[in-house]
Amino acid sequence: MTKTGHQLTGLGAALAAVGLIGGLYPGQNLIMIALLAFFGSSAPDWLEIPQGWQGRKRLSVIPHRTWTHWWPVWLGSTLFGLGVLTATPHPFVLAFTLGAWLHLLMDIPNPMGLPLWHPERRVSLYLWKSSEHVVPLALGSWGLGFLVLILPGALQMAGLSL
Ligand SMILES: [Zn+2]
């Protein structure tokens, strides 16, 4: 997905993070949760430390769509955020990581794909090109993020709970 696409879908990640992480860990700074989820949604690209372009090849300190796009890295971050590794949850890490997971989800349909079993060997779903379907994906992420944001309150109003 393009940088703009990741930023637009990152708004959906921010909404979802506020609903989900704010619900799991009450008393958090929800502005920080939203901002971290938003910046996490583009993190796999900027963590590569981009250095420009050489023709059509993207130059970066970490090769594009390798280590920063490898799911075990973000699984480790998720486990750390949940407190599985440290016995103390880290909601801000979770928010950032939630955004990063959305980034991976948005990248895997593209022909370039993502690393699966090895950080430098990618697989792709070959569903659409990086610049395609940005608007419906953004709208979908906003809708899903909004549902996650309001779901706990809606259930509570209906006399139900998660
Ligand atoms: Zn990416």
* Ligand 1 centroid to residue 82 C-alpha, Å: 24
pLDDT in tens, 115-127: 999 999 998 988 8
pLDDT at residue 47 is higher than 70: yes
Domain count, the chain: 1
Residue 29, pLDDT score: 95
For residue 62, being part of any structural domain is answered with yes
* Ligand 1 centroid to residue 91 C-alpha, Å: 23
Residues near 124 by beta carbon (within 8 Å), at least 6 away in sequence: 108, 109, 110, 111, 112, 113, 114
CA–CA distance, 77 with 67 (Å, rounded to integer): 13
At 76, the pLDDT band (50, 70, 90 cuts) reads very high
Q: Which domain holds residue 88?
A: 3-157
* Ligand 1 centroid to residue 25 C-alpha, Å: 29
* Ligand 1 centroid to residue 46 C-alpha, Å: 9
For residue 162, being part of any structural domain is answered with no
